[in-house]
Amino acid sequence: MTHSHNHTACVQVALTNAAQLCAERGVQLTPIRQQVLELIWANHHAVKAYDLLERIKPLQSAAKPATIYRALDFLMEQGFIHRVESLNAFIGCTDLRTVHEQLLLICKQCQDVEERQANAVMQSLADELKEAGFTAHHKAIEIHGICQNCQQ
């Protein structure tokens, strides 16, 4: 994603959808929440909470850790962002309109994180969980390696 794409469009889609969904749901996309979402969408890297804190300070001089973590909690509840567990970091969700499980491909070289639907994987996982008698509430599927662009 770092490589040649119209990222302005990515950001605009994300923000427009978030605003729309908030309106539909009767929740508030406040300035702080919107700014945090925009900062996360600065690129396709996973962003750390304290990096967000530094970056939002020019806009919100009173910002403290709780400011960021509250905004992150909200954005996660609404499904606008995902937490990358193995990085303690956050990325914008690229598929706001679908209820989905996320498979995250995390490139060690360019730091980009790609979210994929991976329906076949999710289906075999569902089969496996059924066999195990396990009721899933949340799935974290995070693959670290080298992305297609970085291999060339």
Partner DNA sequence: TAATGATATGTTATATTGTAACATATAGAA
Partner DNA sequence: TTCTATATGTTACAATATAACATATCATTA
Task: Say how far apart CA 40 and CA 14 lie, in whole Å.
Answer: 11
Q: For residue 150, with 0-12 CB atoms within 10 Å meaning exposed, 13-18 middle and 19 or more buried, which class applies?
A: middle
Closest to 65 (Cα-Cα) out of 81, 56, 53: 53
Task: Say how far apart CA 99 and CA 41 lie, in whole Å.
Answer: 20
Our CB check for its own copies shows the closer of 51 and 114 to be: 114
What is the Cα Rg of the chain in Å? 16
Distance in Å, CB of 77 to DNA, minimum: 9
109 contact, one of DNA, its own copies, Zn ion, none, CB 5-8 Å limit per kind: Zn ion
Per the DSSP assignment, residues forming a β-bridge with 107 are 145
Distance in Å, CB of 128 to Zn ion, minimum: 17
**Pairing label, strands 103-107, 89-92:** unpaired
Closest to 86 (Cα-Cα) out of 37, 46, 114, 54: 46
Distance in Å, CB of 143 to DNA, minimum: 19
**Residue 147 binds Zn ion, judged by CB under 5 A:** yes
Instruction: Write out the H or E segment, with its range, that includes residue 150.
Output: helix 148-151
Tokens describing residue 135: 């009721």
The site for its own copies (CB under 8 A) is made up of 85-86, 103, 105, 107-108, 114, 116, 118, 120-121, 123-125, 127-129, 132-148, 151
28 contact, one of DNA, Zn ion, its own copies, none, CB 5-8 Å limit per kind: DNA
Binding mask 88-127 for DNA (x = CB under 7 A): x---------------------------------------
**Residue 62 binds DNA, judged by CB under 7 A:** yes
**Residue 23 binds DNA, judged by CB under 7 A:** no
Q: Which residues bind DNA (CB under 7 A)?
A: 27-28, 30-33, 48-51, 60, 62-67, 69-71, 74, 88
